[in-house]
Amino acid sequence: MEYSGMALRVSLFLICVLYYVHGDLSYSVQEEMKRGSVIGNIAKDLGLEVGILSIRKARIKTVGSERRKYCDINLRTGDLIVAERIDRESLCGEKHSCVVKFELLFEAPLELHRITVQIQDINDNAPTFPKDIIKFEITESADKGARYRVNAAHDADIGQNGVQSYTLKRNDHFVFNIQTSSDGTKYGELVLEKELDREEQKEIKLLLSALDGGSPQRSGIVAIDVTVLDANDNAPVFSQAVYEASLPENTQIKTPVITVSATDADEGVNGEVIYGLGRVSDKSRKLFSLDRETGNIFVAGDIDFEEGSKYEIIIQAKDGFGISSDAKIIISITDVNDNAPVIVLKSLSNPVPENASPGTEVGLINVQDRDSEKNRKVRCSLQQHVPFKLIPSIKNYYSLVTTEKLDRELVSEYNITISAKDEGSPPLSSVKVVHISIADVNDNPPVFEDQSYSSYIPENNKPGHSLCSVKAHDPDWRQNGTVIYSLLPGEVNGAPVSSYLSVNGDTGVIQSVRSFDYEQLMSFKVDNAWLSYHIIKSTDPGIFKIDLHSGEIRTQRDISDSDNMKQNILVAEKAQTVI
């Protein structure tokens, strides 16, 4: 009974000891306080004499941590003191409430108290970014408003001591926004406010700061390096919109003419320029060649000023992706005196009658030179000592006219040399020989070799006896120079001459027709003769003239209205005796 009573008491006591837990003590302390800093006074808070603490061997044990002590009790003073560094961040991380629990034990009798110490945050951590440098590669073609995510800064502290705001150092292109994703995490983003241009700025360096709300305020900073990537947004640009070159004709093949040059501000393939021919005439394509890589233009064909004096070529510069631009090349060809004048006989009245009056136009000559300016100015001349001259007419025409009377019997043909010379340097010239023959006009009478012929024959001759032979010459041509002999009518002793003599018309041999009797006829004369014509009387002596030998009547001057309508001319025909 006794024992059982004892046992019950003991067990009750034990239960009382084990479960008799006095009310909690709670304190609050800032993290990072120095060792020995006083958190509160336990003896006072429990209403105990200070001396009791050491008598009852009071001690503190951290709940759940074997090694860490954090707090202790000063048995002499009854103070709860900081025993080692308390770092809220390592104890509680991001938890908003950071509480460390202790047990306070007394012996004799055994007694347990719970102590909770609230650890208060101090701003001992600065915001930090996950990396020191954030690198972005952004194409220059990115549109305004494009967003680039930046991981938020982290601050181990909590509440106001955590990250509160961000500032992006002023720059031309980006602003910074904070966004909250659907799961509540925060992130930042760079927003493109003004388009990029690699050709203007290849790299942009930004500084982003994260600020907390503690006091003093702490900040973290990150560099954001933006590399602007090339987009093929630039066409090649020629150094000139129009290139001009001048080239003498006949320039040798492969001679360089001009070099065009275009640059492209883009990078790599985007900026590699090759050249090509744009709009080009077939003719230009044959005459000029282009080096696609260097932009050099060469002569590739026969450059002839006379075929073309100006060429326009459109050149294209293309970058690696085919963006192109154009420039114009104007090539002027200068003339070289490479064409001799050409003399063309446009018309010629050939033969020219020998009676053509001085100043008669016998031919028309044209002179051409395919060159230009001075090189095509041509002087035309005729050799000297010929009865012809050139009279300049319209443009490059010349009349070939006679300068004096011609005489076929003196000169029957002319080979006249016309020369033409241009004013180029050196000058070029050419000659043309024009053959002119002179046509006959019957302007010479036959002339007997002798003034008179005498012949003696014995009487009683036989009829048909050859007495003599007469000979006359006429220098005219063919029938105009052919002499026919005849006897003029006349009488001898009352009988016609023809009853005594006859003459062979072709040969001029004179024969007797009958037998002569010396006693009747000692001698007689006959006349061979030519006819001559004279104007004896005319209404107006100044108008007409007559050819002495042919009897042809011509006017001597123009007939005008004042002259008589009717003109009477009396012509005498005279036979002159030669023999």
Ligand X SMILES: *[C@@H]1O[C@H](CO)[C@@H](O)[C@H](O)[C@H]1NC(C)=O
Chain residues binding ligand X by CB under 6 A are 413, 415, 435, 440-442, 477-480
Of 380, 421, 419, 382, give the one whose Cα is nearest residue 402: 382
d(CA 188, CA 178): 4
Pick between residue 84 and residue 413 the one whose CB is nearest to ligand X. 413
Give me the residue label for tokens 């008799």. Answer: 20
Q: How far is the CB of 353 from ligand X (least distance, A)?
A: 7
C-beta nearest to ligand X: residue = 440
Of 307, 314, 306, 305, the closest CA to residue 332 belongs to 305
Residues 6+ apart with CB under 8 A from 272: 264, 319, 320
Distance CA 297, CA 86 (A): 83
Q: How many CA atoms lie within 13 A of 76 on its CB side?
A: 0
Specify the residue, 238 or 477, whose C-beta has the smaller distance to ligand X: 477
Question: 67 or 478: whose CB is closer to ligand X?
Answer: 478
HSE (side-chain half, CA atoms, 13 Å) at 360: 16
Output the smallest distance, CB 413 to ligand X, in A.
5
Nearer to ligand X, 28 or 479 (CB): 479
Here the tokens at position 177 are 């926004």
Shortest Å distance, C-beta 435 to ligand X: 6
Give the closest residue to 219 by CA, choosing from 231, 228, 229, 207: 207
Q: Is 88 or 408 the residue whose CB approaches ligand X more closely? A: 408
**Residue (413 or 459) nearer to ligand X, CB:** 413
Closest contact distance (angstroms) between CB of 478 and ligand X is 4
Q: Give me the sign of the Cα torsion angle 85, 87, 92, 96.
A: positive
Minimum distance from CB of 360 to ligand X (Å)?
16
User: What is the amino acid identity at position 297?
Assistant: I
Tell the smallest beta-carbon distance from residue 572 to ligand X (Å): 22
Measure the CA–CA gap between 505 and 486, rounded to whole angstroms: 6
CB of 408 to ligand X, least distance (A): 8
Pairwise CA distance, residues 230 & 268, whole Å: 9
Give least dist CB 541 to ligand X, A: 25
> Residue 67's CB: how many other CB atoms inside 10 A?
5
Cβ pair 90, 36 in contact under 8 A = no
Smallest distance from ligand X to CB 436, Å: 10
Q: Least distance to ligand X from the beta carbon of 351, Å?
A: 9
CB atoms closer than 10 angstroms to residue 267: 17
3-state secondary structure of 8: helix
Which CB, 256 or 353, lies closer to ligand X?
353
Closest distance to ligand X from the beta carbon of 481 (Å): 8
Contact 490, 499 (CB under 8 A): no
Nearest distance in Å: CB 473, ligand X: 16
First to last CA, the chain: 225
Distances (CA, A) of 494 to 199, 229, 462, 490, 578: 137, 143, 22, 9, 21
Pairing state of beta strands 495-496 and 491-492? Answer: antiparallel
d(CA 368, CA 377): 9
Nearer to ligand X, 259 or 442 (CB): 442
* Shortest Å distance, C-beta 474 to ligand X: 11
Q: Which is nearer to ligand X, 404 or 413 (CB)?
A: 413
Q: Which is nearer to ligand X, 338 or 443 (CB)?
A: 443
DSSP 8-state code for residue 86: -
Minimum Å gap between C-beta 403 and ligand X is 18
The answer to whether 577 and 540 have CB atoms below 8 angstroms apart is: no
Residue 373 or residue 547: which is nearer to ligand X going by CB?
A: 547
Q: Reduced to 3 states, what is the DSSP secondary structure of residue 498?
A: helix
Q: Cβ closer to ligand X: 245 or 439?
A: 439
| Beta carbon nearer to ligand X, 124 or 474 | 474
Preceding peptide of 216 cis, ω within 30°: yes
- Closest approach, Cβ 368 to ligand X, in A, equals 24
Query: From CA 258, how far away is CA 246, in angstroms rounded?
Result: 9
Give the nearer residue to ligand X in terms of CB position, either 128 or 349: 349
Q: Which residues pair with 511 in a beta bridge?
A: 466, 502
Strand 163-168 vs strand 21-30: parallel, antiparallel, or unpaired?
A: unpaired
Hey, what's the torsion of the CAs at 389, 393, 395, 396, to 10 degrees? -20
- Beta carbon nearer to ligand X, 301 or 481: 481
